[in-house]
Structure 1
Protein backbone atom coordinates (compact mmCIF):
# COMPACT_ATOMS: atom_id res chain seq x y z
CA UNK A 1 0.00 0.00 0.00
CA UNK A 2 1.31 3.41 -0.96
CA UNK A 3 1.80 5.81 1.96
CA UNK A 4 0.45 8.70 -0.12
CA UNK A 5 -2.87 6.92 -0.62
CA UNK A 6 -3.59 6.57 3.14
CA UNK A 7 -4.31 10.30 3.62
CA UNK A 8 -6.51 10.24 0.49
CA UNK A 9 -8.46 7.27 1.85
CA UNK A 10 -8.84 9.01 5.23
CA UNK A 11 -9.86 12.23 3.50
CA UNK A 12 -12.46 10.38 1.37
CA UNK A 13 -13.75 8.55 4.46
CA UNK A 14 -14.12 11.87 6.29
CA UNK A 15 -15.97 13.40 3.33
CA UNK A 16 -18.24 10.34 3.11
CA UNK A 17 -18.92 10.55 6.85
CA UNK A 18 -19.87 14.22 6.56
CA UNK A 19 -22.12 13.49 3.55
CA UNK A 20 -23.84 10.62 5.39
CA UNK A 21 -24.27 12.71 8.54
CA UNK A 22 -25.68 15.64 6.52
CA UNK A 23 -28.01 13.29 4.62
CA UNK A 24 -29.21 11.76 7.88
CA UNK A 25 -29.78 15.20 9.35
CA UNK A 26 -31.72 16.38 6.28
CA UNK A 27 -33.81 13.19 6.23
CA UNK A 28 -34.57 13.49 9.95
CA UNK A 29 -35.44 17.18 9.60
CA UNK A 30 -37.70 16.47 6.61
CA UNK A 31 -39.50 13.59 8.33
CA UNK A 32 -39.88 15.61 11.56
CA UNK A 33 -41.33 18.49 9.52
CA UNK A 34 -43.73 16.14 7.72
CA UNK A 35 -44.81 14.52 10.99
CA UNK A 36 -45.35 17.95 12.59
CA UNK A 37 -47.38 19.04 9.57
CA UNK A 38 -49.54 15.91 9.75
CA UNK A 39 -49.89 16.43 13.48
CA UNK A 40 -51.12 20.01 12.88
CA UNK A 41 -53.56 18.77 10.24
CA UNK A 42 -54.80 16.07 12.60
CA UNK A 43 -55.22 18.63 15.39
CA UNK A 44 -57.37 20.80 13.12
CA UNK A 45 -59.46 17.82 12.00
CA UNK A 46 -59.93 16.70 15.60
CA UNK A 47 -60.98 20.21 16.59
CA UNK A 48 -63.46 20.38 13.71
CA UNK A 49 -64.87 16.97 14.65
CA UNK A 50 -64.99 17.60 18.41
CA UNK A 51 -66.29 21.16 18.38
CA UNK A 52 -68.28 21.56 15.17
CA UNK A 53 -69.16 18.63 12.93
CA UNK A 54 -69.39 16.00 15.69
CA UNK A 55 -71.93 17.91 17.81
CA UNK A 56 -73.88 18.88 14.65
CA UNK A 57 -73.90 15.26 13.51
CA UNK A 58 -75.01 13.80 16.85
CA UNK A 59 -77.70 16.43 17.44
CA UNK A 60 -78.97 16.06 13.85
CA UNK A 61 -79.12 12.28 13.97
CA UNK A 62 -80.83 12.37 17.38
CA UNK A 63 -83.32 14.93 16.07
CA UNK A 64 -84.07 12.84 12.98
CA UNK A 65 -84.58 9.68 15.04
CA UNK A 66 -86.86 11.53 17.45
CA UNK A 67 -88.84 13.11 14.60
CA UNK A 68 -89.35 9.75 12.87
CA UNK A 69 -90.44 8.33 16.24
CA UNK A 70 -93.01 11.10 16.66
CA UNK A 71 -94.34 10.56 13.13
CA UNK A 72 -94.63 6.83 13.81
CA UNK A 73 -96.42 7.54 17.10
CA UNK A 74 -98.89 9.72 15.17
CA UNK A 75 -99.30 7.08 12.44
CA UNK A 76 -97.70 9.30 9.79
CA UNK A 77 -95.02 8.59 7.22
CA UNK A 78 -94.19 12.19 6.34
CA UNK A 79 -94.55 15.72 7.67
CA UNK A 80 -98.20 16.49 7.18
CA UNK A 81 -99.90 19.54 8.65
CA UNK A 82 -100.26 19.27 12.41
CA UNK A 83 -103.84 18.55 13.39
CA UNK A 84 -105.52 20.03 16.47
CA UNK A 85 -105.56 16.54 18.03
CA UNK A 86 -101.74 16.34 17.60
CA UNK A 87 -100.94 19.77 19.04
CA UNK A 88 -100.41 18.61 22.62
CA UNK A 89 -97.80 16.04 21.53
CA UNK A 90 -96.28 18.45 19.03
CA UNK A 91 -95.76 21.24 21.59
CA UNK A 92 -94.32 18.78 24.12
CA UNK A 93 -91.84 17.27 21.63
CA UNK A 94 -90.99 20.65 20.14
CA UNK A 95 -90.24 22.30 23.48
CA UNK A 96 -88.48 19.38 25.20
CA UNK A 97 -86.69 17.58 22.35
CA UNK A 98 -86.52 19.44 19.05
CA UNK A 99 -85.79 22.98 20.23
CA UNK A 100 -83.08 21.94 22.70
CA UNK A 101 -81.37 20.03 19.85
CA UNK A 102 -81.90 23.01 17.54
CA UNK A 103 -80.39 25.31 20.18
CA UNK A 104 -77.28 23.10 20.39
CA UNK A 105 -76.84 23.16 16.62
CA UNK A 106 -77.51 26.89 16.36
CA UNK A 107 -74.96 27.64 19.11
CA UNK A 108 -72.33 25.43 17.43
CA UNK A 109 -72.87 27.11 14.07
CA UNK A 110 -72.72 30.63 15.49
CA UNK A 111 -69.92 30.16 18.02
CA UNK A 112 -67.70 27.76 16.06
CA UNK A 113 -68.19 29.02 12.50
CA UNK A 114 -64.42 29.44 12.16
CA UNK A 115 -64.16 25.62 12.05
CA UNK A 116 -66.20 25.09 8.89
CA UNK A 117 -64.36 23.27 6.10
CA UNK A 118 -65.35 25.67 3.34
CA UNK A 119 -63.99 29.17 2.78
CA UNK A 120 -67.52 30.60 2.85
CA UNK A 121 -70.41 29.76 5.15
CA UNK A 122 -72.56 27.08 3.47
CA UNK A 123 -76.06 28.36 2.71
CA UNK A 124 -77.69 25.34 4.38
CA UNK A 125 -76.13 26.36 7.72
CA UNK A 126 -77.48 29.89 7.38
CA UNK A 127 -80.87 28.49 6.37
CA UNK A 128 -80.86 26.23 9.44
CA UNK A 129 -80.15 29.13 11.83
CA UNK A 130 -82.93 31.12 10.16
CA UNK A 131 -85.30 28.14 10.55
CA UNK A 132 -84.50 27.96 14.27
CA UNK A 133 -85.03 31.70 14.72
CA UNK A 134 -88.46 31.25 13.13
CA UNK A 135 -89.28 28.54 15.67
CA UNK A 136 -88.21 30.81 18.53
CA UNK A 137 -90.97 33.21 17.49
CA UNK A 138 -93.47 30.33 17.33
CA UNK A 139 -92.51 29.10 20.80
CA UNK A 140 -92.76 32.64 22.19
CA UNK A 141 -96.34 32.79 20.92
CA UNK A 142 -97.07 29.38 22.45
CA UNK A 143 -95.78 30.68 25.78
CA UNK A 144 -98.45 33.42 25.52
CA UNK A 145 -101.16 30.84 24.76
CA UNK A 146 -101.33 31.58 21.01
CA UNK A 147 -101.14 28.30 19.08
CA UNK A 148 -102.21 29.71 15.71
CA UNK A 149 -98.75 29.03 14.26
CA UNK A 150 -97.56 25.48 14.52
CA UNK A 151 -94.33 25.51 12.58
CA UNK A 152 -91.59 27.96 11.73
CA UNK A 153 -92.51 30.12 8.77
CA UNK A 154 -88.99 29.38 7.50
CA UNK A 155 -88.88 25.76 6.34
CA UNK A 156 -86.37 23.10 7.25
CA UNK A 157 -83.40 23.18 4.81
CA UNK A 158 -83.25 19.64 3.34
CA UNK A 159 -79.56 20.08 2.38
CA UNK A 160 -78.61 20.57 6.04
CA UNK A 161 -78.66 16.90 7.05
CA UNK A 162 -76.88 15.87 3.84
CA UNK A 163 -74.17 18.48 4.43
CA UNK A 164 -73.65 17.47 8.07
CA UNK A 165 -73.45 13.73 7.29
CA UNK A 166 -71.14 14.21 4.31
CA UNK A 167 -68.79 16.60 6.12
CA UNK A 168 -68.62 14.44 9.24
CA UNK A 169 -67.88 11.30 7.20
CA UNK A 170 -65.19 13.07 5.14
CA UNK A 171 -63.46 14.39 8.26
CA UNK A 172 -63.58 10.99 9.97
CA UNK A 173 -62.04 9.38 6.87
CA UNK A 174 -59.30 12.03 6.75
CA UNK A 175 -58.66 11.60 10.48
CA UNK A 176 -58.23 7.83 10.01
CA UNK A 177 -55.97 8.30 6.98
CA UNK A 178 -53.72 10.75 8.83
CA UNK A 179 -53.51 8.55 11.91
CA UNK A 180 -52.54 5.58 9.77
CA UNK A 181 -49.95 7.58 7.83
CA UNK A 182 -48.39 8.78 11.07
CA UNK A 183 -48.14 5.26 12.40
CA UNK A 184 -49.55 3.85 15.58
CA UNK A 185 -46.59 4.85 17.78
CA UNK A 186 -46.76 8.47 16.64
CA UNK A 187 -50.51 8.45 17.26
CA UNK A 188 -49.90 7.09 20.76
CA UNK A 189 -47.36 9.84 21.50
CA UNK A 190 -49.73 12.54 20.27
CA UNK A 191 -52.71 11.35 22.30
CA UNK A 192 -50.71 10.04 25.28
CA UNK A 193 -51.85 6.44 24.97
CA UNK A 194 -49.86 4.09 27.14
CA UNK A 195 -51.34 0.79 26.08
CA UNK A 196 -49.79 -1.06 23.17
CA UNK A 197 -52.81 -2.77 21.64
Structure 2
Protein backbone atom coordinates (compact mmCIF):
# COMPACT_ATOMS: atom_id res chain seq x y z
CA UNK A 1 0.00 0.00 0.00
CA UNK A 2 1.27 3.43 -0.98
CA UNK A 3 0.80 5.98 1.83
CA UNK A 4 2.54 8.81 0.00
CA UNK A 5 -0.83 10.02 -1.28
CA UNK A 6 -2.01 10.59 2.28
CA UNK A 7 0.98 12.73 3.18
CA UNK A 8 -0.13 15.31 0.59
CA UNK A 9 -3.59 15.70 2.18
CA UNK A 10 -2.44 17.96 5.04
CA UNK A 11 -0.64 20.21 2.54
CA UNK A 12 -3.80 20.51 0.46
CA UNK A 13 -5.84 21.33 3.57
CA UNK A 14 -3.21 23.76 4.74
CA UNK A 15 -3.13 25.50 1.35
CA UNK A 16 -6.93 25.64 1.27
CA UNK A 17 -7.00 27.20 4.74
CA UNK A 18 -4.40 29.79 3.75
CA UNK A 19 -6.29 30.57 0.55
CA UNK A 20 -9.53 30.95 2.54
CA UNK A 21 -7.85 33.39 4.93
CA UNK A 22 -6.40 35.39 2.03
CA UNK A 23 -9.74 35.57 0.23
CA UNK A 24 -11.50 36.59 3.45
CA UNK A 25 -8.89 39.29 4.10
CA UNK A 26 -9.21 40.64 0.56
CA UNK A 27 -13.00 40.69 0.94
CA UNK A 28 -12.70 42.52 4.24
CA UNK A 29 -10.21 45.00 2.78
CA UNK A 30 -12.45 45.70 -0.22
CA UNK A 31 -15.46 46.16 2.05
CA UNK A 32 -13.49 48.48 4.33
CA UNK A 33 -12.16 50.57 1.45
CA UNK A 34 -15.53 50.81 -0.27
CA UNK A 35 -17.28 51.73 2.99
CA UNK A 36 -14.64 54.39 3.61
CA UNK A 37 -15.09 55.77 0.09
CA UNK A 38 -18.86 55.82 0.55
CA UNK A 39 -18.54 57.63 3.87
CA UNK A 40 -16.25 60.24 2.33
CA UNK A 41 -18.59 60.73 -0.60
CA UNK A 42 -21.62 60.94 1.71
CA UNK A 43 -19.86 63.53 3.87
CA UNK A 44 -18.91 65.55 0.81
CA UNK A 45 -22.47 65.37 -0.51
CA UNK A 46 -23.82 66.51 2.87
CA UNK A 47 -21.49 69.51 2.82
CA UNK A 48 -22.44 70.39 -0.76
CA UNK A 49 -26.12 70.09 0.14
CA UNK A 50 -25.66 72.27 3.21
CA UNK A 51 -23.85 74.91 1.16
CA UNK A 52 -26.59 74.86 -1.45
CA UNK A 53 -29.49 74.82 1.00
CA UNK A 54 -28.23 77.35 3.49
CA UNK A 55 -25.90 79.67 1.59
CA UNK A 56 -25.55 79.59 -2.18
CA UNK A 57 -29.12 78.53 -3.00
CA UNK A 58 -30.89 81.27 -1.03
CA UNK A 59 -28.25 83.79 -2.11
CA UNK A 60 -28.78 82.81 -5.73
CA UNK A 61 -32.58 83.04 -5.57
CA UNK A 62 -32.54 86.39 -3.77
CA UNK A 63 -29.96 87.75 -6.21
CA UNK A 64 -31.84 86.62 -9.29
CA UNK A 65 -35.09 88.02 -7.89
CA UNK A 66 -33.33 91.31 -7.16
CA UNK A 67 -31.91 91.47 -10.67
CA UNK A 68 -35.28 90.75 -12.26
CA UNK A 69 -36.93 93.41 -10.08
CA UNK A 70 -34.17 95.93 -10.87
CA UNK A 71 -34.56 95.40 -14.62
CA UNK A 72 -38.32 95.70 -14.21
CA UNK A 73 -37.98 99.01 -12.40
CA UNK A 74 -35.60 100.34 -15.02
CA UNK A 75 -38.05 99.30 -17.72
CA UNK A 76 -40.86 100.98 -15.85
CA UNK A 77 -38.82 104.17 -15.64
CA UNK A 78 -37.71 103.87 -19.27
CA UNK A 79 -34.04 103.72 -18.32
CA UNK A 80 -31.10 101.41 -18.89
CA UNK A 81 -29.34 102.32 -15.65
CA UNK A 82 -30.53 103.78 -12.38
CA UNK A 83 -28.05 106.62 -12.17
CA UNK A 84 -28.95 109.44 -11.96
CA UNK A 85 -32.17 109.15 -10.00
CA UNK A 86 -34.26 112.12 -11.06
CA UNK A 87 -36.64 114.00 -8.77
CA UNK A 88 -39.58 112.69 -10.79
CA UNK A 89 -38.41 109.11 -10.19
CA UNK A 90 -37.65 109.46 -6.51
CA UNK A 91 -41.04 108.39 -5.17
CA UNK A 92 -41.02 105.21 -7.28
CA UNK A 93 -37.37 104.53 -6.48
CA UNK A 94 -37.99 104.87 -2.74
CA UNK A 95 -41.00 102.54 -2.92
CA UNK A 96 -38.99 99.85 -4.69
CA UNK A 97 -36.01 100.31 -2.37
CA UNK A 98 -38.12 99.94 0.77
CA UNK A 99 -40.41 97.13 -0.38
CA UNK A 100 -38.29 95.06 -2.77
CA UNK A 101 -34.58 95.81 -2.91
CA UNK A 102 -33.77 96.32 0.76
CA UNK A 103 -35.72 93.27 1.96
CA UNK A 104 -33.81 91.18 -0.60
CA UNK A 105 -30.56 92.89 0.39
CA UNK A 106 -31.29 92.17 4.05
CA UNK A 107 -31.83 88.48 3.27
CA UNK A 108 -28.55 88.28 1.38
CA UNK A 109 -26.67 90.25 4.01
CA UNK A 110 -27.97 87.96 6.77
CA UNK A 111 -26.98 84.85 4.80
CA UNK A 112 -23.47 86.16 4.21
CA UNK A 113 -22.95 87.19 7.82
CA UNK A 114 -24.59 84.22 9.55
CA UNK A 115 -23.51 81.46 7.18
CA UNK A 116 -20.03 82.63 6.20
CA UNK A 117 -18.59 79.30 7.37
CA UNK A 118 -20.24 77.66 4.34
CA UNK A 119 -18.26 79.69 1.82
CA UNK A 120 -16.33 77.43 -0.55
CA UNK A 121 -13.18 79.54 -0.57
CA UNK A 122 -10.66 79.61 2.25
CA UNK A 123 -10.95 83.40 2.46
CA UNK A 124 -14.01 85.60 2.28
CA UNK A 125 -14.46 86.72 -1.33
CA UNK A 126 -14.09 90.48 -1.65
CA UNK A 127 -17.33 90.80 -3.60
CA UNK A 128 -19.27 89.47 -0.59
CA UNK A 129 -17.65 92.02 1.69
CA UNK A 130 -18.34 94.73 -0.88
CA UNK A 131 -21.97 93.67 -1.06
CA UNK A 132 -22.44 93.84 2.72
CA UNK A 133 -20.79 97.26 2.74
CA UNK A 134 -23.09 98.41 -0.08
CA UNK A 135 -26.15 97.30 1.91
CA UNK A 136 -24.95 99.05 5.06
CA UNK A 137 -24.51 102.22 3.02
CA UNK A 138 -28.09 101.97 1.81
CA UNK A 139 -29.35 101.55 5.36
CA UNK A 140 -27.95 104.99 6.16
CA UNK A 141 -29.59 106.43 3.04
CA UNK A 142 -32.96 104.93 4.01
CA UNK A 143 -32.68 106.47 7.47
CA UNK A 144 -32.17 109.87 5.87
CA UNK A 145 -35.16 109.29 3.60
CA UNK A 146 -37.28 108.43 6.63
CA UNK A 147 -36.42 111.87 8.01
CA UNK A 148 -37.34 113.54 4.72
CA UNK A 149 -33.73 114.13 3.62
CA UNK A 150 -33.36 113.05 -0.01
CA UNK A 151 -29.97 114.65 -0.59
CA UNK A 152 -28.46 111.18 -1.02
CA UNK A 153 -30.24 108.85 -3.38
CA UNK A 154 -27.87 105.93 -3.52
CA UNK A 155 -25.50 104.11 -1.24
CA UNK A 156 -22.13 105.79 -1.09
CA UNK A 157 -20.67 102.33 -1.66
CA UNK A 158 -21.47 101.17 -5.18
CA UNK A 159 -22.94 97.85 -6.21
CA UNK A 160 -20.16 95.26 -6.66
CA UNK A 161 -20.63 93.89 -10.21
CA UNK A 162 -18.59 90.76 -9.37
CA UNK A 163 -21.18 89.79 -6.76
CA UNK A 164 -23.76 88.49 -9.22
CA UNK A 165 -21.13 86.63 -11.23
CA UNK A 166 -19.72 85.04 -8.08
CA UNK A 167 -23.15 83.94 -6.84
CA UNK A 168 -24.21 82.48 -10.20
CA UNK A 169 -20.93 80.65 -10.82
CA UNK A 170 -20.67 79.28 -7.29
CA UNK A 171 -24.24 78.05 -7.36
CA UNK A 172 -23.76 76.40 -10.76
CA UNK A 173 -20.51 74.69 -9.67
CA UNK A 174 -22.08 73.33 -6.50
CA UNK A 175 -25.15 72.08 -8.37
CA UNK A 176 -22.86 70.29 -10.84
CA UNK A 177 -20.87 68.78 -7.98
CA UNK A 178 -24.07 67.70 -6.25
CA UNK A 179 -25.33 66.04 -9.41
CA UNK A 180 -22.01 64.27 -9.91
CA UNK A 181 -21.92 63.02 -6.33
CA UNK A 182 -25.50 61.78 -6.49
CA UNK A 183 -25.49 60.17 -9.90
CA UNK A 184 -22.08 58.76 -10.73
CA UNK A 185 -22.03 55.05 -11.61
CA UNK A 186 -19.39 54.20 -9.02
CA UNK A 187 -21.49 55.79 -6.29
CA UNK A 188 -24.58 53.80 -7.26
CA UNK A 189 -22.56 50.59 -7.51
CA UNK A 190 -20.93 51.03 -4.13
CA UNK A 191 -24.27 51.84 -2.52
CA UNK A 192 -25.70 48.61 -3.92
CA UNK A 193 -22.77 46.52 -2.67
CA UNK A 194 -22.68 48.02 0.82
CA UNK A 195 -26.46 48.22 1.04
CA UNK A 196 -26.81 44.45 0.65
CA UNK A 197 -24.76 43.67 3.73
Matched with 1:183 is: 188
SS in structure 2 opposite 1:2? helix
Matched with 1:109 is: 112
SS in structure 2 opposite 1:156? coil
Deviations 1:116-146 (A, max 9, x none): 0111100000000000000000000111111
Normalised to the residue count of structure 1, the TM-score between the two structures is 0.91
Matched with 2:195 is: none
SS in structure 2 opposite 1:159? helix
**In 1: Cα distance, 2:26 partner to 2:120 partner:** 38
Of residues 6, 9, 20, the one that matches 2:9 is 6
Normalised to the residue count of structure 2, the TM-score between the two structures is 0.91
Larger CA Rg, structure 1 vs 2: 2
**In 2: Cα distance, 1:142 partner to 1:126 partner:** 25
Matched with 2:42 is: 39
SS in structure 2 opposite 1:117? coil
Q: Give 1:3 deviation, angstroms.
A: 0.8
1:81 equivalent to 2:63? Answer no
Of residues 157, 161, 166, the one that matches 2:164 is 161
Q: How well do the aligned residues superpose, as a CA RMSD in angstroms?
A: 1.5
Matched with 2:51 is: 48
Q: Does the 8 A contact of 2:56 with 2:171 survive in 1?
A: yes
Q: Give 1:185 deviation, angstroms.
A: 8.8
Deviates more, 1:150-159 or 1:177-186: 177-186
**In 2: Cα distance, 1:148 partner to 1:77 partner:** 23
Of residues 127, 131, 135, the one that matches 1:132 is 135
Q: Give 1:37 deviation, angstroms.
A: 0.3
Q: Give 1:161 deviation, angstroms.
A: 0.3
Deviations 1:4-25 (A, max 9, x none): 1111111111111110000000
Deviations 1:151-182 (A, max 9, x none): 10100000000000011111111111111232
Paired positions, count: 187
**In 1: Cα distance, 2:65 partner to 2:180 partner:** 27
**In 1: Cα distance, 2:12 partner to 2:36 partner:** 36
Q: Give 1:148 deviation, angstroms.
A: 1.3
